[in-house]
Amino acid sequence: MLKHSRRQGRNINQRKILLVEDDPDLSELIALQLQDIMCESTRISNGREALDRASTEEFDMLILDIMLPEVDGLEICRTVRGQNSQIPILMLTAKSSELDRVLGLELGADDYMTKPFSTLELVARVKALLRRARFSEEPARAQKIITFNDLSVDTENRRAFIRGNEVELTPKEFDLLHHFIIHPGRVFSRMQLLDKVWGYSYEGYHHTVNSHINRLRTKIEKDPHNPEFILTRWGVGYEFATLE
């Protein structure tokens, strides 16, 4: 099963990334850029081979193209996320339609970039995702628990519980929940959430926020269509309910 690497036998600061991209020039360019931030890339161009490698090796992150031979990136994302809720997944695609963007995010991707893109921006996204994921690998620290009704969030150890049962959240889903629960009663627009949680606020990425909120609601709300925690303020944005 694909899981976070413990990085045995190599530099403890080096991160191992599965890079799945069938354009050899782009794949090589990305790999070279990742070397500069101490990331070792395993480059795969075939979707089925990528699934096989993901099942037998350990990686710290997955960079995944959608259009691939044999098995597409959406299926790989779905399968990997089913095995590991924590590993960061960044999706790349030549497609720019909102449907493709939402599908990838609904299947569990943490971030999404449409070609052509700046390699500097890609590296910034990778660094942000790895930085957030690293917190979940650190030893348990002193707990700071925020509780609201049936929901408890351990902000130090990055864990969430509903009615005493732990909820499996992706790194980005936890970041979003954490941001909401430490700002109860405050309404955030999609652009503000992109800026605060994702670290960028570009037009056209609003569905990134919508998709993650929808997935988060399915995990923490009794009725996602009638939420008690993450509330929609029509025409404005989203708000976490006021803590009692």
Angle in degrees, CA 220, 185, 125, rounded to 5: 65
pLDDT at 202: 54
Could you tell me where the DSSP H helices lie in the chain? 24-35, 47-56, 73-83, 98-106, 119-137, 171-181, 190-193, 206-220
How high is the mean pLDDT of the chain?
Answer: 83
pLDDT at 99: 62
* Mean pLDDT, rounded, for 55-82: 90
Greater pLDDT, 135 or 54: 54
Q: CATH 1.10.10.10 spans which residues of the chain? A: 145-240
**Whole-number Cα distances in Å, 75 to 48, 65, 137, 151:** 10, 11, 26, 31
Q: CATH 3.40.50.2300 spans which residues of the chain? A: 15-137
For 150, which DSSP code?
T
The class that CATH gives domain 15-137 is: alpha beta
Lowest mean pLDDT among 77-81, 89-93, 109-113, 235-239: 109-113
- For residue 70 the two structure tokens come to 């044999």
Terminal alpha carbon distance of the chain: 41
pLDDT at 162: 93
Greater pLDDT, 64 or 86: 64
pLDDT tens digits for range 82-98: 888 788 999 888 765 65
pLDDT band at 140 (very low <50, low <70, confident <90, very high): very low
Residue 19 has pLDDT above 60, yes or no: yes
* Mean pLDDT, rounded, for 16-34: 95
Q: Is the pTM of this model over 0.75?
A: no
Taking the C-alpha atoms of 196, 197, 199 and 205 in order, what is their torsion angle to the nearest 10 degrees? -100
pLDDT tens digits for range 201-227: 555 566 778 888 999 999 999 999 999
pLDDT at 244: 53
CATH code that applies to domain 145-240? 1.10.10.10
